[in-house]
Structure 1
């Protein structure tokens, strides 16, 4: 057995033992799609100990490339919207913008999609094309439509899929708009994060069909939700948990913070809860639903650490710091952001801080409830 085949088999065994691969049809599909074929352009590896975070390229001829392709880890494939591994010599300190998601998460999501033979799937976020290939092997390429926002990323996926003899419908464009020409779909799956589930996905899914998407926001807490589309054009369903995180769809990225407000102004009081509650993922998810347009920053001011929530559009802000064992909050702008956050947390705690959530999408928008 070649090194590649052995590594592939070991990955499949790992995914099966870990519970990501749970059924034979998906196991056969995963066995038929070699991940390295989607990573010939290389990837970026995080530089250990670098502060701020730095990335170094790993190319196909480099030691460890093949082993990493079959490791159960996400691999960054693009940085800053245009930069690929072959563009860099040395290191780069910019934000990742595209990646090959860890195989365990890809297969877990495909299993959670509750697929049957012959169903038609719309995938939002082609990326390298690996998950697209697994879908093609499971359902047949004629039943798979995939959308990628970035034209260069889409071209790479198209080439990789073609090398493996797969030609699904590949669309370059804004995945948040779906692909109406191919609708209705039985399933929609998104491999990018969204703040709210787009109405186009609901409209393009047949009644009884399902949407699987990672829903989160600018405070950085994301959860996987599976929504069923109803006859009245609404969709609802449970949050499946697992603290799943994807890069946000580019149209859902936050605006740059710009010039911060004067944090020395505003109204000050003792906080009921401190900013440290945001270190807990689930608590942050609850707060995020209450103040969806807020971003979180950490600053050093006047010799103390300030935890800042700022809503760029409205100009509202809240700054918290710890003093003598107490948390103090100062707020300004049109909305007292920390008041809103504390009220949401109080309601949540009053019913026992449940960890199970559900999402409903209607013509009026999206709501998250417990």
Structure 2
């Protein structure tokens, strides 16, 4: 069976361009970190537990070495403790698909001679990849969930790796091992924590997924300057589960078709475009959205502002808005700026963190900009 696992690791690594990371992927046994139980998503039933004991060994290893994310915890419930499907809620811990893990490590330029802080140990698989490449002494990793942290520690020890492991809130980083050459996040944040910036040495980088409450996601890659200012591009669109303190609050049912009535020629389907959704999120960072058939509903969960946009006729859409500000109007203004610029993708945007403020800009730091929530 070890021969089969090695063969599957080789096949999984075959599509990795970097010879260093390809060799690393071939060497680290993912099955140690996945464990014996995972969740698989079924559209009608939600998260369904799958157990190694109920599968052929060959089939289990084929699942483990598939290039897909394997969810190990949902809503705080570990897969081995689940006795029935769990309704459609956020997963809370997983082993991310290996190709994406390696891609992030490449973007972050994780290589020999650097000292790394990983935010979100998770199963410990990405931690192990970095330990194998850099040596355990170069890696610190912090995990929020105590049970997840303990399981990762056991798996890493079993695999022969000894990084510095911390259980706690990763948004605060780990001061005692700072400064770092690299910080890499394996969970998504709404804004870049100030303490991360302070814990990176000048010239170092922070690479992390970012995810807002509308669901717009990007990968940020920030370089920290001598003055403590950090600037970033968004090289890719990625989606990771949010850091728990940055997750969107529950969205209650809201009233539809009430409030001030207006008409728009701005197609709400622009929010179905990844970058359009990002722009709408920048314009209304506290809002969440749902589609109810062809109607877009937006609700600001902090202020109570609401808007819904539904087809009217061939000339546009009817808008209903109520609350302390006109939510759709704010979104429409942001989308208009993006359309005027020619609908560029996320790579045309950047992020500057300086002076206690975080601004996402379009085109250049002097171009149109939106503040991220404090």
Q: TM-score, normalised by structure 2?
A: 0.91
Match of 2:47? 55
Cα distance in 1, alignment partners of residues 309 and 333 from structure 2: 16
Does residue 30 of structure 2 align to residue 30 of structure 1?
no
Paired residues of 2:213 and 2:248 also in contact (CA < 8 A) = yes
SS in 2 for 1:240: strand
SS in 1 for 2:67: coil
Does residue 210 of structure 2 align to residue 215 of structure 1?
yes
Match of 1:69? 64
> Which moves more between the two structures, 142-151 or 54-63?
54-63
Match of 1:350? 340
- Runs of 4+ deviating beyond 4 Å: none
SS in 1 for 2:303: coil
Does residue 285 of structure 2 align to residue 263 of structure 1?
no
Structure 2 residue runs of 5 or longer lacking an equivalent are 363-374
Paired residues of 2:111 and 2:133 also in contact (CA < 8 A) = no
Match of residue 291, structure 2, among 282, 298, 301? 298
Cα distance in 2, alignment partners of residues 125 and 115 from structure 1: 16
Match of 1:101? 96
Paired residues of 2:6 and 2:26 also in contact (CA < 8 A) = no
Question: How far apart are residue 201 of structure 1 and its match?
Answer: 0.7
Q: Within 5 Å, which residues of 2 pair with 1:181-192? A: 181-192=176-187
Paired residues of 1:79 and 1:94 also in contact (CA < 8 A) = no
RMSD of aligned alpha carbons: 1.5
Question: How far apart are residue 45 of structure 1 and its match?
Answer: 1.1
Does residue 313 of structure 2 align to residue 324 of structure 1?
yes
Cα distance in 2, alignment partners of residues 361 and 232 from structure 1: 11
SS in 1 for 2:187: strand
Does residue 110 of structure 2 align to residue 115 of structure 1?
yes
Cα distance in 1, alignment partners of residues 262 and 87 from structure 2: 38
Deviation readout 1:133-185 (Å, 9 max, x if unpaired): 00001111111000111000011100000001111011111111101111100
Match of 2:300? 311
Match of 1:19? none
Paired residues of 1:218 and 1:294 also in contact (CA < 8 A) = yes
Match of 2:372? none
Paired residues of 1:193 and 1:248 also in contact (CA < 8 A) = yes
Match of 1:88? 82
Paired residues of 1:207 and 1:231 also in contact (CA < 8 A) = yes
Cα distance in 2, alignment partners of residues 357 and 99 from structure 1: 29
Cα distance in 1, alignment partners of residues 110 and 6 from structure 2: 27
Name the count of aligned residue pairs.
354
Match of 2:243? 249
Cα distance in 2, alignment partners of residues 114 and 55 from structure 1: 34
Paired residues of 1:208 and 1:229 also in contact (CA < 8 A) = yes
Question: How far apart are residue 186 of structure 1 and its match?
Answer: 0.3
Match of 1:277? 270
Match of residue 338, structure 1, among 299, 315, 328? 328
Cα distance in 1, alignment partners of residues 319 and 257 from structure 2: 11
Structure 1 residue runs of 5 or longer lacking an equivalent are 17-21
Cα distance in 2, alignment partners of residues 28 and 12 from structure 1: 8
Cα distance in 1, alignment partners of residues 265 and 352 from structure 2: 30
Question: How far apart are residue 259 of structure 1 and its match?
Answer: 5.4
Cα distance in 2, alignment partners of residues 177 and 255 from structure 1: 21
Deviation readout 1:223-247 (Å, 9 max, x if unpaired): 1111000111110021002x21000
Does residue 170 of structure 2 align to residue 175 of structure 1?
yes
Question: How far apart are residue 80 of structure 1 and its match?
Answer: 1.1
Cα distance in 2, alignment partners of residues 173 and 132 from structure 1: 16
SS in 2 for 1:330: strand
SS in 2 for 1:38: helix
Question: How far apart are residue 333 of structure 1 and its match?
Answer: 1.1
Q: TM-score, normalised by structure 1?
A: 0.92
Cα distance in 1, alignment partners of residues 36 and 343 from structure 2: 46
